[in-house]
């Protein structure tokens, strides 16, 4: 995990979107997915086809310069659907739950 990603995760999990070099609009404008079909990032269902689609979306994210702010935005605004910042909705939910468990213990 690179430094930007770590900062984004920490900020989002603590309830703050890190305000570093990105403006809210700025990271969207340079995202690797900006010219792709948005439906790719919103797989429907839970079957093998949906999992395969999510993996295809995550491949975009792995090359994306906006991955950290995108994930921070999704975590801090509790986006409940779709792939953001390289993580599917169920992965983000698990991450947020594990953070709450750590805070509570």
CB of 84 to ligand SF4, least distance (A): 5
| Alpha-carbon span 15 to 26, nearest angstrom | 20
* Shorter beta-carbon distance to ligand SF4: residue 32 or 99: 32
Footprint of ligand SF4 (CB under 6 A): 31-33, 41, 60-61, 64, 66-67, 70, 83-86
Number of residue whose CB is nearest ligand SF4: 31
* Shorter beta-carbon distance to ligand SF4: residue 54 or 84: 84
* Shorter beta-carbon distance to ligand SF4: residue 6 or 100: 6
């Amino acid at each position: 995990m690179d430094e930007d990603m770590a900062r984004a995760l920490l900020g989002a999990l603590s309830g703050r979107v890190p305000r570093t070099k990105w403006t809210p609009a700025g990271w969207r404008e340079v995202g690797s997915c900006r010219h792709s079909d948005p439906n790719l990032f919103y797989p429907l269902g839970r079957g093998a086809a949906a999992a395969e689609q999510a993996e295809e979306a995550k491949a975009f994210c792995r090359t994306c310069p906006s991955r950290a702010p995108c994930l921070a935005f999704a975590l801090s605004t509790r986006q409940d659907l779709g792939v953001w910042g390289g993580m599917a909705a169920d992965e983000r939910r698990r991450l947020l739950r594990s953070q709450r468990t750590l805070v509570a213990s």
